[in-house]
Amino acid sequence: MLKLRKSAPLHAQRGLSLLETIGVVSIGAVLAAMTLPHVYGLIADSKAESLVSSAKIYQQAISRYYADVGTLLPLDSQGLPHLEQTGDSADPSSLPAQLTLVAGDPRAGDSNLWTKFQGPYLEKFDTQHPPELGGAMYLQTHKALPLGAVVTGSNQAWDLKGDNARNDVPTQAHIVMLRVTGITPEQFLRIDKVVESDIGRTVEERQIRGRAKYDPVDMSLQLYLAHQ
């Protein structure tokens, strides 16, 4: 006589119970909560490194421009250096606009220092589209404050040695800096860590010492590139 096999209990065919499902979901949520901050931190670090890498490219372009032309300042229509402080690439007279200018372009002059111009020195600089971080960026030229002046987050003094928050740039020297707006304090600290990780013991010191400065009032990064 054939014997019928007993069917498995109904609960054994259901898979995970409600309590078990809740447990699995809870564990997944805990693991996600532990992992996501690390992932976000890596992404934020990557963006900071991208901005600093771009700044190095701008610095190299300025160096080549200086080697050819003999000035850090943009040139006017007569081929003479002039102090143009906005640093907006949309302005043809700005330094970033001229760094991307091709030699022989009708906008380039043919007198004085223009005869030494061998651009382009930079492939691209778009004020409205900074690399990875910020709302806008500007390649500005300024005159330095007197040597030894107190450094703030917004003035034209730079504690390049990072030792005393006093200006190390010679009085009235011409400075080229990258200014990036829309930078949060946390983003600045990540950028500053890439630029100079060993300068500044406190947040306040890091904001004004070294080549990277931060103005918390208008949330802007100022990154020193060169002076003459």
Determine the pLDDT at residue 145.
98
As a whole number, mean pLDDT of residues 94-123 equals 95
d(CA 34, CA 14): 31
Q: How confident is the model at residue 136 (pLDDT cuts 50, 70, 90)?
A: very high
Closest CA to 155 of 163, 164, 165: 165
Q: How many CB atoms lie within 10 A of CB 125?
A: 23
Q: What angle do CA 169, 181, 159 make, to 5 degrees?
A: 20
Q: How confident is the model at residue 52 (pLDDT cuts 50, 70, 90)?
A: very high
Give how far the C-alpha of residue 26 lies from the chain's centroid of Cα atoms, to the nearest Å: 39
d(CA 16, CA 88): 62
Q: Please say if the pLDDT value at position 156 is more than 90.
A: yes
pLDDT digits (tens, 9 = 90+) for 82-95: 999 999 999 999 99
Q: Please say if the pLDDT value at position 218 is more than 80.
A: yes
Q: Please say if the pLDDT value at position 6 is more than 90.
A: no
Torsion of CA 119, 94, 73, 132, to 10 degrees: -80
Q: Per the structure block, which two tokens stand in for 24?
A: 């699995």
pTM, 2 dp: 0.83
Are the beta carbons of 184 and 221 closer than 8 angstroms?
A: no
